[in-house]
Amino acid sequence: MKAIGIIFAGGQKDSLKELTEARASSAMPVGSCYRAIDFSLSNMVNSGINKVAVITQYNSRSLHDHLNSSKWWGFGTKHGGMFVLSPFLSKDSNTWFRGTADSIYQNITYLKRSQEEYVIITSGDGIYKMDYRDVLDFHIAKNADITVVCKDMHTMDVSNFGVVTLKSDGRVDEFEEKPLEPFSSIVSLGIYVMKRTLLIDLLETIVPQGRYDFVRDIVIRYRKQKAVYGMMYDGYWAGINSIESYYNINMDFLRSDVRDALFFKEPYIETKNKDEPPAKYNANSTVRNALIGSGAVIDGLVENSVLFRSVRIAENAAVRDSIILEGSEIGEDCVIEYAIIDKAVKITTGQSIKGTKHNPKIIRKNSVV
């Protein structure tokens, strides 16, 4: 493969409130057994890219825990591999990453030591399956300097996205991040392709000028001077940028078309193996329309919900329209509706926890209710 990868996994998202107090958005658990970054990491490997840098910064402990071995995604090779890049102190630098562009700039050795012609840059919190080779083919065919992967979100509120308009030949015309008044339904998915040497040149130009943001200071600022193209993508894609979108992404996995595309069609999305036994349904359990992680033990009722690994649902408990993260226990006679129960939570006997569809109730990690 003639490209290397960069995954931005360092960003902070206040919009996820309690859920990102203890983890980066790229480490958000989704779909019973994955973390968000599994999707971009697997996409990289499945696209034949075997050298990938993951840039971490904010709340990186749980992300580093997840990335403790590159073998889960098949990076354990002599050539290439996974490079986890975190802020560090040195003679020339003693700051945190001041932005996405700065985070690459501070690790520019990674770019300079590589020989591959192209760089594929993505964020670590998108949920999708994509062959980046298609994007690279588009990039080469268009003779582009920078390619941005875009998607038409139709009627969805896009004020949280980078909103784009394209000219008839596919060139990016307008591009504004989180516009107050969105002027288009087309958004950037945060997936970019460019030449490695061009990225080095641009970084060495902008960062010394005090410009640190990859999207604002490279893609948007240079969109007229350079050939910046948008490639439309119409497969499943979902980004985690609010509690509601996080809730909806998990519920999307209850759709068989989403499961077929993301789970059962090769190439597969890989995750860290936790060696849990099969899920155990006991004699009085009732489970309908639910995604169940391995190692779960169910005695009660589970409906329209997503259960992660090793969750326990006690007898006479009822869980509806909820997301229960790994290792949490729901006690007897509890009623849980429209809730997101974070990891390792204990809900004691007889509790009632209810949110609403648009405002799910969140229970903090490790808490006892």
Partner 1 sequence: MRKKEMMAMLLAGGQGSRLGALTKTKAKPAVSFGGKYRIIDFPMSNCINSGVDTVGVLTQYQPLQLNRHIGIGTPWDLDRRNGGVTILAPHVKEGEEGFWYSGTANAIFQNIDFIDMHNPEYVLIISGDHIYKMDYARMLRFHKEQNSDATIAVLEVPIEEANRFGIMNADGNDKIYEFEEKPNFPKSNLASMGIYIFTWKQLRACLVEAHDRYKDSDFGKHIIPMFLEYSKNIFAYRFNGYWKDVGTIDSYFEAHMDLIKTIPEFNLYEDFAKIYTSSDHQPPQFTGPDADVKASLVAEGCEVYGLVHNSILGPDVKVANGAVVRDSIIMAGSIIGENTEVVRTIIDENTIIGNNVRIGVGDNVPNAQKPQVYDTGITVIAENSVIPNGVTIGKNCAICGVTETLHYHNAQLKSGETLEV
Give contact residues for partner 1 (rule: CB under 8 A): 31-33, 71, 253-254, 256, 259, 262-264, 268-269, 271, 273, 275, 277-295, 297, 299, 310
- Decide whether 6 or 325 has the Cβ nearer to partner 1: 325
- Specify burial of residue 167 (Cβ count, 10 A radius: 0-12, 13-18, 19+): exposed
Bridge pairing between strands 81-85 and 51-55 = parallel
What is the nearest approach in angstroms of partner 1 to the Cβ of residue 338? 18
> CA 149 to CA 153: how far, in whole Å?
13
- Decide whether 93 or 282 has the Cβ nearer to partner 1: 282
> CA 331 to CA 52: how far, in whole Å?
43
Structure token digits, residue 61:
């402990």
Which single residue is written with the structure tokens 């998990």? 250
> CA 107 to CA 193: how far, in whole Å?
18
- Decide whether 97 or 308 has the Cβ nearer to partner 1: 308
What is the nearest approach in angstroms of partner 1 to the Cβ of residue 263? 4
With CA atoms as reference, report the closest residue to 67 among 42, 95, 94, 98.
42
What is the nearest approach in angstroms of partner 1 to the Cβ of residue 89? 33
φ and ψ at 353, to 5 degrees? -130, 115
What 3-state DSSP class applies to 335? strand
What is the nearest approach in angstroms of partner 1 to the Cβ of residue 276? 8
What is the nearest approach in angstroms of partner 1 to the Cβ of residue 320? 13
What is the nearest approach in angstroms of partner 1 to the Cβ of residue 289? 4
- Decide whether 193 or 290 has the Cβ nearer to partner 1: 290
> CA 365 to CA 191: how far, in whole Å?
31
358 neighbors 337 (Cβ within 8 angstroms) = no
- Decide whether 23 or 312 has the Cβ nearer to partner 1: 312
> CA 285 to CA 205: how far, in whole Å?
62
What is the nearest approach in angstroms of partner 1 to the Cβ of residue 24? 22
- Decide whether 290 or 330 has the Cβ nearer to partner 1: 290
- Decide whether 77 or 282 has the Cβ nearer to partner 1: 282
